[in-house]
Amino acid sequence: MNTEVIFVDKNVNKEETYTQAVDIIRKGGIIAFPTETVYGLGADATNAEAVEKIFEAKGRPADNPLIVHVDSKGAALGCVEEVSENAEKLMDAFWPGALTLIMKSKPHLFAQNVTANLKTVGIRVPNHPVALNLLKRVKMPIAAPSANTSGKPSPTLAEHVYHDMEDKVPLILDGGPTKIGIESTVLDMTSEPPVILRPGNVTKEQIENVIGTVRLSAEVLGNGPKSPGMKYTHYAPEAPVYLIEDDSKLIKKAIEYIQGKGKKIAVLSSAEYPEADYHFPLSPETLYTSLRKCDMTDADLILAAVPVHRDDNDFMMNRLEKAADHKWFS
């Protein structure tokens, strides 16, 4: 399959492009498109065969459910069985935006593979003009996980999608770099109090300001896997990643030690380390790009400089812990 990348200027409506994208989705195909968090790989959420193509292209385990994207609160309400007052408050406060709400799904609406046979579904309205234009035109819910190969860092540039999905997807809508750079906050509204299954740009405090107390899942707190999909390897580059306290003396010593063993080292940190073989910036916006850049080097080991005191709400740290499989350099 030939993969076509089309640049969609965010301020211009290129009707032809959307027509092509809508046509592919309506016919049961998949396309990649930008959201404000990361790029998504989308298909008609009501068509099991179409959704299966997403799992195939990503190599995604079948028991990991996908997020459904809709263009409005109204469309979301049409997809779920019960909506609590609190869920509506959150939709009003944060949509369009980086908050995915897990709610009880309307029966028989979504293809079973979207929800991995669960009775619940994760829904969000993305805050990106290209994603919204696409959703408004296609007039159906789009199931879309991040558009990376399963286990790899999520794509924040169309180039990342192309790298992972070349010949697997017919069309990538290029909307430039994604603004937030890390996936949406996932909040399970079917528990009382609601539970954050994945921290993101919408914080616990922001959510609590709207609906009162919510909890962090055991997995987010570092107490082992809980929600589907959280148990798999994530965001991992080729070379092993180790966390290290963000302390320049310690990092310089580590660089010297590793190089002394004849190995090459890449450092991810906000401060620069010219003595390292490679250095890439570390921030929510650059995390995935930097992890991907490590794969283009011959580094044997990657050190990520992080605060030593764990902040459960720190969504970048949450992703880094997974990328490092919780290993600390010592």
Whichever of 132 and 244 has its CB closer to ligand TXA, that residue is: 132
Q: Closest approach of Cβ 145 to ligand TXA, in Å?
A: 3
Choices 69-77, 140-148, 248-256, 288-296 (CB under 5 A): range interacting with Mg ion: 140-148
Whichever of 64 and 84 has its CB closer to Mg ion, that residue is: 64
Long-range contacts of 86-93 (CB under 8 A, 24+ apart): 86/189, 86/194, 86/210, 86/211, 87/189, 89/210, 89/211, 90/187, 90/189, 90/207, 90/210, 90/211, 91/125, 93/206, 93/210
Whichever of 126 and 153 has its CB closer to ligand TXA, that residue is: 126
Cα separations (Å) of 139 from 16, 160, 302, 329? 17, 27, 44, 49
Whichever of 96 and 329 has its CB closer to ligand TXA, that residue is: 96
Whichever of 215 and 264 has its CB closer to ligand TXA, that residue is: 215
Whether the CB-CB separation of 10 and 177 falls below 8 Å is answered with no
- When CB distances are held under 5 to 8 angstroms depending on the partner's kind, the choice from ligand TXA, Mg ion, none that residue 229 binds is ligand TXA
Q: Closest approach of Cβ 229 to Mg ion, in Å?
A: 8
Choices 117-125, 138-146, 296-304, 310-318 (CB under 5 A): range interacting with Mg ion: 138-146
Whichever of 45 and 267 has its CB closer to ligand TXA, that residue is: 45
User: Is the sign of the CA dihedral 171, 164, 123, 316 positive or negative?
Assistant: negative
Q: Closest approach of Cβ 313 to Mg ion, in Å?
A: 20
Q: Closest approach of Cβ 154 to Mg ion, in Å?
A: 5
**Residue 24 to residue 19: CA distance in whole angstroms:** 9
- Taking CB under 5 A as the rule, does residue 146 contact Mg ion? yes
- When CB distances are held under 5 to 8 angstroms depending on the partner's kind, the choice from ligand TXA, Mg ion, none that residue 114 binds is none
- When CB distances are held under 5 to 8 angstroms depending on the partner's kind, the choice from Mg ion, ligand TXA, none that residue 122 binds is ligand TXA
**Residue 99 to residue 72: CA distance in whole angstroms:** 13
Strand partners, 281: 269
Q: Closest approach of Cβ 129 to ligand TXA, in Å?
A: 15
Q: What is the dihedral of CA 46, 52, 55, 59, to 10 degrees?
A: 180
Whichever of 186 and 255 has its CB closer to ligand TXA, that residue is: 186
Q: Closest approach of Cβ 118 to ligand TXA, in Å?
A: 5
**Residue 125 to residue 131: CA distance in whole angstroms:** 9
Q: Closest approach of Cβ 115 to ligand TXA, in Å?
A: 6
User: Which tokens belong to 328?
Assistant: 């600390």
- When CB distances are held under 5 to 8 angstroms depending on the partner's kind, the choice from Mg ion, ligand TXA, none that residue 276 binds is none
Strand partners, 44: 142
**Residue 14 to residue 129: CA distance in whole angstroms:** 12
Per-residue burial over 28-49, b = 16 or more CB atoms within 10 Å of its CB, e = otherwise:
ebbbbbbbbbbbbbbbbbbbee
Whether the CB-CB separation of 123 and 103 falls below 8 Å is answered with yes
**Binding stretches for ligand TXA (CB under 6 A):** 35, 37-38, 40, 64-67, 100, 102, 115, 118, 120-122, 126, 144-146, 183-184, 186, 197-198, 227-230
Task: Name the residues that contact Mg ion, by CB under 5 A.
Answer: 146
